[in-house]
Amino acid sequence: MKRLIPFVVLGVLSGAAHSQMPNPVFASPLIENYDSMVAGLYAFFPAMSGFATANAITGAPMDVGSFTFLPPFNGTQCMYGIQSDVAWRFNFPLRRFGGRWRSAATWVTGLRMRFFTTAGAPWFTSPVLPITTTSWQWYGYFLFTACGSVIIEGVPSPGFVGHDNTRARWW
């Protein structure tokens, strides 16, 4: 039995290295509220004062504006991918990421966040996080390793995830 203890400890430590911690709303100088953007369709756009780029990745564009079916969490505009998931790429090592999320279509009931290291290797995929068409929900993560990008996926189909008050931090 005593011979198994080192293996159990090693298993627990390696499992902890890959787990991530949900993070409540955090302060950051890098917040994207989409309010300063021209309303319209985008394949990609610079975000967070030029420290990030948001990219539509599954074929259709992202839509920025003020929508009756998706009123912004704060300010005058928000963004969602039209049948498109959204990849956020950062020009700094990311340690926290989060935002307000909401469904822009009744058939999209959740979102998943897929984080990648600064070298582009998969690091962590969140469980499916529930969203609705009626209210904005905060989801964010503190990352135990520096990441360079995150993909926001609609569940069970791509896109239609509303983004607002999106934020990132390197510490």
pTM over 0.85: yes
Q: Is residue 145 part of a domain?
A: yes
Q: Is residue 14 part of a domain?
A: no
CB 30 within 8 A of CB 51: yes
Integer Cα distance of 86 and 101 in angstroms: 12
- Average pLDDT across each block of 10 residues of the chain; the chain has 171 residues. List them in order: 46 48 94 97 97 94 96 97 97 97 98 97 97 98 96 97 97 91
Q: Tell me which residue of 17, 26, 171 sits closest to 95, measured CA to CA.
A: 171
pLDDT score, position 114: 98
pLDDT score, position 16: 41
Q: Write the CATH number for 118.
A: 2.60.120.260
Domain around 82: 22-169
Q: Is residue 147 part of a domain?
A: yes
pLDDT score, position 58: 82
Q: Tell me which residue of 117, 81, 122, 126 sits closest to 102, measured CA to CA.
A: 81
Q: Is residue 104 part of a domain?
A: yes
The number of distinct structural domains making up the chain is 1
